[in-house]
């Protein structure tokens, strides 16, 4: 222990760098876990869609028109606060939410889970991951 304290005293820059890197790793892990809450990969989403899952696109109208997952309905960002009320009739149905990168959909998924929705999921990585896997988009 004495040698560690001596090292830290003699090399403050390296010690600070090690602490900063450890904090960066912790931050990255926490962010990854936050975004992975009740998330499904695109292939899993397709399987859920084949089982009757309803998709909701949480993006703006112009982004939705530029390209969205086939069969998705748009939930306007201004309506996210009232989403629990709007979707309560689908409380026991499979729902998949997505946005551009998965941030908004994860937050809304948490909100719906807290309201008692049991089968709501977020598309991991959002539409960016869908596009990266070369999956088709509907236009208009």
105: alpha, beta or left, given left = phi > 0 and alpha = psi -120 to 50? alpha
Report in angstroms the alpha-carbon separations of 122 from 117, 125, 127, 132, 140. Answer: 13, 9, 11, 17, 23
Q: Is residue 140 part of a domain?
A: no
Residues 90 and 123 in one domain: yes
Residue 20 clears pLDDT 90, i.e. is over it: yes
Task: Lowest mean pLDDT of 26-30, 39-43, 132-136, name the range.
Answer: 26-30
Query: Is the residue at 120 inside a domain?
Result: yes
pLDDT above 60: residue 36: no
pLDDT for 77 equals 84
Q: Which two tokens stand for residue 47?
A: 């399987």
Q: What is the count of structural domains for the chain?
A: 2
47 and 86 housed in the same domain = yes
In the chain, how many H helices and how many E strands? 7, 5
Same domain, 28 and 80: no
The domain of 47 spans: 39-132
For residues 25 and 46, membership in a common domain is answered with: no
Span 59-97, pLDDT tens digits? 999 999 999 999 999 998 888 888 888 888 888 899 999
Q: Given 96, 99, 108, 112, which residue is catalytic?
A: 99
Using an 8 Å Cβ cutoff, are 130 and 69 in contact?
yes
At a CB cut-off of 8 Å and minimum separation 6, what does 66 contact? 139
Let me know if residue 138 belongs to a domain: no
**Residue 53's Cα: distance from chain center in Å?**
17
The per-residue pLDDT of the chain, averaged, comes to 90
67 is catalytic: no
Q: Give whole-number Cα distances, 15 to 4, 11, 20, in Å.
A: 10, 6, 9
Beta bridge partners of 68: 138
| Integer Rg of the chain from CA | 20
Residue 67, in any domain of the structure: yes
């Amino acid at each position: 222990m004495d040698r560690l304290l001596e090292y830290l005293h003699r090399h403050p820059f390296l010690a600070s760098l090690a602490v900063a890197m450890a904090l960066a790793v912790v931050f990255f892990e926490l962010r990854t876990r936050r975004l992975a809450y009740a998330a499904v990969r695109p292939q899993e989403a397709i399987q859920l869609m084949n089982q009757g899952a309803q998709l909701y696109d949480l993006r703006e109208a112009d982004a939705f028109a530029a390209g969205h997952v086939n069969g998705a309905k748009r939930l306007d960002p201004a309506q996210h606060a009232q989403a629990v009320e709007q979707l309560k009739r689908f409380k026991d149905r499979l729902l998949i939410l997505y946005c551009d990168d998965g941030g908004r959909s994860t937050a809304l998924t948490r909100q719906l889970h807290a309201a008692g929705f049991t089968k709501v999921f977020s598309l991991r990585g959002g539409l960016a991951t869908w596009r990266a896997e070369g999956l088709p988009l509907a236009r208009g």
